[in-house]
Amino acid sequence: MLISMELITAVLSGSVIAAFILIYKRQKQTPDRQCGRDYPADTVILHQFPRGPFAPSMSPFCIKIETFLRMAEIPYQNVHSYTMGPKGKSPWIEYNGETLGDSEMITSYLVEKCGVNLSTGLTEEQRAIGRAFQTLVDERMYWLVLLERWVFHKSEMSGTLTKLPAILIWHISRKTKNMAYAQGLGRHTQSEIETLLEKDLKALSDYLGDNKYFLGEQPREVDCAVFGQLCQVRYHVPNSVKARTYLQESLPNLTAYMDRMIVKYWPDWEECMTNGFAKEATK
């Protein structure tokens, strides 16, 4: 009996979706918590994916928000799971009974609610530059790295970087390719994506120059976003990705910048990864 590829794809996709639904339902069995009773008041409950193998997360946005909380010295507790937030994304937060998703919305909300200001002393021009670079890494480099990781090098993701089964990697690859195509960057070839990613890294390096941080001698909110995305290129793409080699061998100021961020805000860096092979990962 002949079975069409479309039917096989539908069955496999349905199986993966069913598995996720089962996991989601199990996670939803946890009773609702109340601020002040089940966790401390004035403490951010940060919901994010489980830890990554060679950096705290395989999501740049999870690293971005956790670094922001540390930089702003806002008390927080982690909840590691695959449960998505109100916008269907992770990370997301609970704070004094309110729930919020999307990394940019979260930082804006916490700046207002917690009275923190990481932009003190910046000129309007500097604020504009910071926003431009944050948009570059959040809305463009993010997709370039996803394509490198899950589409062009998906066969190398199993084992060292993830323990996901092959069928799930296939599903993630298919979904990533479709979303990136709709976004626009997924219409490019692998060679074109590699060139774009290297150009973005070069732009970051050129602007950083000899500065300690992106807007001068003090770390700012933009550094949380840039650091989170650079960590993905340095630690969480396969070794064969050209941009990873380019970053490590040709852009020493960016790797030094990441090292400064780790020393300043992540003294527990090696404890916040599943493999604990930080030295090996940076070779």
Same domain, yes or no: 66 and 162? no
| pLDDT score for 281 | 38
Q: Which residues of 1-30 are buried (b: 16+ CB within 10 A; e: fewer)?
A: eeeeeeeeeeeeeeebeeeeeeeeeeeeee
Query: Residue 171, Cα to own-chain centre: how many angstroms?
Result: 19
For residue 38, pLDDT over 90 is answered with no
Q: The domain containing residue 42 runs over which residues?
A: 20-26+34-114
Same domain, yes or no: 133 and 98? no
Looking at the 3D structure of the chain, how many domains does it have? 2
pTM of the model: 0.85
pLDDT bin (cut points 50, 70, 90) of residue 34 is: low
For residue 36, pLDDT over 50 is answered with no
Say if residues 272 and 56 touch (Cβ distance below 8 Å).
yes
Q: How do residues 57-105 score in pLDDT, each as one tens digit? A: 999 999 999 999 999 999 999 999 999 999 999 999 999 999 999 999 9
Reference 235, options 209, 210, 259; nearest CA is 259
> What's the rounded mean pLDDT across residues 227-252?
97
Same domain, yes or no: 81 and 207? no
Same domain, yes or no: 164 and 190? yes
Does residue 2 lie within any of the structural domains? no
Same domain, yes or no: 110 and 131? no
